[in-house]
Amino acid sequence: MKLKQRIVLLAILLVIFIFTKVFLIDNLDTSAANREDQRAFHRMMAGLRVELVPKLDHTLQSPWEIAAQWVVPREVYPEETPELGAIMHAMATKKIIKADVGYKGTQLKALLILEGGQKVVFKPKRYNRDYVVEGEPYAGYDRHNAEVAAFHLDRILGFRRAPLVVGRFVNLRTEIKPVATEQLLSTFLTVGNNTCFYGKCYYCRETEPACADGDTMEGSVTLWLPDVWPLQKHRHPWGRTYREGKLARWEYDESYCDAVKKTSPYDSGPRLLDIIDTAVFDYLIGNADRHHYESFQDDEGASMLILLDNAKSFGNPSLDERSILAPLYQCCIIRVSTWNRLNYLKNGVLKSALKSAMAHDPISPVLSDPHLGAMDQRLLSILATVKQCTDQFGMDTVLVEDRMPLSHL
């Protein structure tokens, strides 16, 4: 064989070797990542049921100190949380030492300080479980039980970006009024035999108070994030205008995602993929009201998108608001880990997992069966949307690897 032919043959063999090696490494990496996703799913399922227990036997720290130490830029709580039951028990039972009107916002809430100095946000019950909120997908009052369900869905999806939430019953006469500020106390009234309050907020009205059953009010309490992690508010790029006849750009421009990708913080880092994860999360719970979102301050786009204020969810189980998925079907990208987790939750697993996760909550049953069933159906719609993307652009383009090492040191 001539020298030239030998060189050509060696070059061809070298190219084949390089491509084979790269292909094998890529497949090994992908396979290893998928196996880790599967192991993470099984760990989540094994620790899904959280029993509210009163003691932390293995530590002298308070539940509030433990929860504060959990928070890092990309997680509100870690994957393994043996202390979660004790923290949620404290949230549901610790003595209320101060009660005030809620922080600024559009919906009724109260800011409570529990024994030990921990702040929590209390959202009162407004609807029975089987009540269906008609009208726009963002219509109606906040749903306290939606906050509880959304927190547990966050656990199930493996996002770990929602503050801790638990249901709680409070006696307005004996637990709230004696420690209430004058500003909150001035909004109390009696309707029939029921104690009520209407608080201070944009839509709060004396004619629309939240009322207890006698003196006992059902609600949810959300753990306040530590003050050492100040929040920064951002306008959601896929937010609605909330004005009849006026569309946001994303509602008529199918290439809108291309424009978003050119603006900070969506042009680099994890934020755009967080937006996609949040669209999946919001579609499952029926939340069409995420017009803004929060991250940690001075994060340069590296902080997670924190899943705060999920109470405009679970309003109508028959309404699947597809526009919530606009970030997904316009950008056609999704994390591999999210895609894997969604597939593990098919065939009724999601409904069963969420029901199990919420079984020990003080206000259980948290959701009606129609809402649980609706989530399983919406999951199928999400998977079908991703498949449309992969059919059009290919798996390698749509499924994005984004695994960031996390530290709780």
What positions carry a catalytic annotation? 289
Structure tokens at 104: 């600024």
Please state, in angstroms and as integers, the Cα–Cα distance from residue 324 to each residue in 240, 253, 312, following that order.
Answer: 10, 15, 13
- Strand-pair partners of 101: 110
Q: How far apart are CA 348 and CA 334, in angstroms?
A: 22
Answer for the pair 163, 151: CB distance below 8 angstroms, yes or no: yes
Answer for the pair 122, 109: CB distance below 8 angstroms, yes or no: yes
Tell me, what amino acid is at 48?
Answer: L
Please state, in angstroms and as integers, the Cα–Cα distance from residue 248 to each residue in 228, 237, 292, 321, following that order.
Answer: 35, 9, 14, 16
Number of helices (H), then strands (E), in the chain: 12, 12
Structure tokens at 284: 């499952």
3-state secondary structure (DSSP) of residue 87: helix
State the sign of the Cα–Cα–Cα–Cα dihedral 210, 211, 216, 218: negative
Q: Which of 233, 382, 225, 405 is nearest to 305 (CA)?
A: 233
Q: Using the structure block, give the residue that is written with the tokens 């997680």.
A: 75
Backbone phi, then psi, for 53, in 5-degree steps? Answer: -115, 145
Answer for the pair 76, 161: CB distance below 8 angstroms, yes or no: yes
User: Helices 349-357 and 369-393: crossing angle, nearest 10°?
Assistant: 130
State the sign of the Cα–Cα–Cα–Cα dihedral 88, 224, 274, 367: positive
Answer for the pair 164, 222: CB distance below 8 angstroms, yes or no: yes
Backbone phi, then psi, for 216, in 5-degree steps? Answer: -95, 120
3-state secondary structure (DSSP) of residue 408: coil
- Residues making up the chain, counted from first to last: 409
